[in-house]
Structure 1
């Protein structure tokens, strides 16, 4: 149950901090955002995975709040990460697909990097006394042939250790073409390491940074990318999975997912040993649904010894679609929030619709910090504290309506219309020309099997108008395919 003592924590923090003297101090809570790459809605055992056990992440859910209606704001990495960090729809910054090389970005009317003047959660927290660090995948500018981009410090981070899709200090992988490209850009200390140890390096770096913060509050982004394919686990950890599945792609994925959970457990345990866990807000989510490359459906990709059904690794539960799709499996993700003594324990919130753009204002409210007025996201901190919010603003998505083409799922049935909106229990998908209208009641039909557009024309038209007005207000002109 929600403890009434903590209902006004943001107000209490704000009022005490504004009136304190040098002798009076209030311990501000720390914040750790764990944003996992390409992990599906059903990949954690606390979200229904019956194959791989994820006890360390599950423990956060057991001692916190687990949401079942959390969405990222794009089914692909770069715009999803922009939305999380800015609290705004990523297309406002002309980032609607993954940031690639400069020629490809130009062809797709994409920026090479996020505008550093954009609102940014780290920048806001740094301005309010937080030590800030980013460890793991960046992918908001830098890499490939693009080196003339802002460093993470220009977005408010005191310290960063990124991957090959970024500049500054970074971890690069041997025998990996884009890593080799990145190394030629310079601009930072480079650590060469196998992908299977990258999360361990990021966590070690994050913990070293936290230790140096001493008594100052910290905010970190921890963004492991080993769940993104190709899955390259330590070979010794694959053997146990050969008796579980004959699918060789799954064997590697299960080994990677298990190790990811172990590393996150190590991070949490060390925070506890440092005396930091009790006053740290931890948020866990994924940036989009699991991979769906065409090769996973092609027999040539599998060894002759494997004669089973062809399918990609990663679970979405019963949800339709995967990565690169606006169906639920591409954008609905796990979301767990934990703050000992402040958030309820073991609560499942199946009512509140939360999206990644809501994290910026929600975290600031919990910390008693003012946030920019023009954010697209809204404050959902009441839900974090255990009070579900049944009425929330609609959420809208775009994927594939822009110039230059997009990556589409290998399973053609997962290719969705290129616009979507969720308002209450209703979700409408359409193309920018208004075609292929699909209306679903997600409360009754989360798998999106029963298209109700013809039976509910008034709802369909109302949501269609909202969605097209939103899309037409964006800076990149839509292309009708």
Structure 2
């Protein structure tokens, strides 16, 4: 869509090597819809600080998460691989739920880890925020953060090593927590800035993964109608209060990096793990069909902003290039000069070129699954309920169930809202993509027959 005049990728990388390796911060928002952010047309509350990040960097409109729900989506980013290959298919819960869902209780430490790769290349590594790839409820044997390559961490209940300040009780949050629900993002931002301050002589890789804007929405008391009445944790007014505060904390991060003298040599990525729920009539999905738990675009197409002053041109939008969550590992490794082991064979591809100003189509299919049975996957309801498998190939997106039924085909470039099913009129494309999707699905491992 846009034309950019800049130096080629290789001189930019040469400049980076001369200046020192960049810090990397991956901000993974929880359940943020495509239409939540002002820079993406959001109408709920102004998001001036997230928009400020977009103004100083690149905004992609075709970025896809690895899954329409948290645990597998997060695993796809950390490993750079399809989450189903590591037996992640939905959110992790109790051992019984996980068994019913046909998935594992935690990510095996034998899986590749972006943090481990960065640590092996001399980076200080930190994880501050939600994990949800093992630990919590009755899963007590999940590996600790160090086994995935993290030097430091502060995480929520859904982790192997929950932070006592935000887990006073054996649950996700509590009024007894010393850090209140509305201050958790502030807490994680403070942890991030402190970590980077203490490691100023060393490049840092940080997962900043807040658990906002996931429900329940608990805004600061002063936003609750001036203290006159408590807001219900699922209503729009509560969401607006939480989103407003979340944006404030993104601003604190940006200002803090500037005060530390780190802003110019820090790559910041801002995105979400999956789509919104509730969507308030689709508004939070930004005109896209679907929600969290759906393979329609509203469940997997996410806001994506990347900033790196002096390397990524400011205030640009790329409407052409597709980027998948599994691409982040090889792409960030290339930008940061991190060596990937020769034994690693991921599903993502290096897309550093598009981030540095050369838009291009992704020459590899993207695949998704959500729903191996009716026990653990009987959601969402209504028209947001999608078929259980999907593939995106160029301008085409095909969805279907594993038995070959419920086939839907969309020209996703011309019909991003997925309104017109072309399955009947595009028989050749339907046959080709359904064959590829079936072969991919059959290649995934199975833990049980459920």
TM bin, normalised by shorter chain, reads over 0.9
* Deviation of 1:288 (Å): 0.5
* Deviation of 1:167 (Å): 2.3
Question: What SS class does the counterpart of residue 178 from structure 1 fall into?
Answer: coil
Instruction: State the match for 1:261 in structure 2.
Output: 247
2:74 aligned with 1:85, yes or no? no
Instruction: State the match for 1:419 in structure 2.
Output: 389
Deviations 1:339-373 (A, max 9, x none): 00000111110111101110000001111223244
Instruction: State the match for 1:389 in structure 2.
Output: 360
Equivalent pair of 1:164/1:172 in contact (CA under 8 Å): no
Unaligned 5+ segments in structure 1 are 17-25, 182-189, 297-310
The verdict on how the C-alpha distance between 1:240 and 1:382 changes in structure 2, with shifts beyond 3 A counting, is farther
Instruction: State the match for 1:406 in structure 2.
Output: 377
Instruction: State the match for 1:197 in structure 2.
Output: 183
Give the Cα–Cα distance (whole angstroms) in 1 for the partners of residues 165 and 137 of structure 2: 12
Equivalent pair of 1:392/1:424 in contact (CA under 8 Å): yes
Instruction: State the match for 2:441 in structure 1.
Output: 471
Equivalent pair of 1:324/1:330 in contact (CA under 8 Å): yes
Give the Cα–Cα distance (whole angstroms) in 1 for the partners of residues 10 and 363 of structure 2: 20
Equivalent pair of 1:172/1:179 in contact (CA under 8 Å): no
* Deviation of 1:117 (Å): 1.4
Equivalent pair of 2:216/2:233 in contact (CA under 8 Å): no
The verdict on how the C-alpha distance between 1:442 and 1:160 changes in structure 2, with shifts beyond 3 A counting, is same
Give the Cα–Cα distance (whole angstroms) in 2 for the partners of residues 82 and 100 of structure 1: 15
Question: What SS class does the counterpart of residue 219 from structure 2 fall into?
Answer: coil
Equivalent pair of 1:69/1:353 in contact (CA under 8 Å): yes
Equivalent pair of 2:66/2:325 in contact (CA under 8 Å): yes
2:124 aligned with 1:134, yes or no? no
2:60 aligned with 1:67, yes or no? yes
2:284 aligned with 1:323, yes or no? no
Deviations 1:168-217 (A, max 9, x none): 25156579762489xxxxxxxx9643211111111111111111102110
Among 3, 8, 11, the residue aligned to 2:11: 8
Among 96, 102, 105, the residue aligned to 1:112: 105
Instruction: State the match for 2:348 in structure 1.
Output: 377
Question: What SS class does the counterpart of residue 92 from structure 1 fall into?
Answer: helix
Give the Cα–Cα distance (whole angstroms) in 2 for the partners of residues 357 and 433 of structure 1: 26
Give the Cα–Cα distance (whole angstroms) in 2 for the partners of residues 352 and 312 of structure 1: 28
Unaligned 5+ segments in structure 2 are none
Give the Cα–Cα distance (whole angstroms) in 2 for the partners of residues 232 and 279 of structure 1: 34
Question: What SS class does the counterpart of residue 261 from structure 2 fall into?
Answer: coil
Give the Cα–Cα distance (whole angstroms) in 2 for the partners of residues 172 and 139 of structure 1: 18
**Aligned CA-pair RMSD:** 2.6
Aligned length in residues:
442
Give the Cα–Cα distance (whole angstroms) in 2 for the partners of residues 41 and 239 of structure 1: 27
The verdict on how the C-alpha distance between 1:112 and 1:363 changes in structure 2, with shifts beyond 3 A counting, is same
* Deviation of 1:391 (Å): 4.1
* Deviation of 1:52 (Å): 1.0
| 43-52 vs 76-85, greater mean Cα deviation | 43-52
- 1:450-469 equivalence runs, <5 A: 450-469=420-439
The TM-score with structure 1 as length reference comes to 0.87
Instruction: State the match for 1:304 in structure 2.
Output: none
* Deviation of 1:441 (Å): 0.5
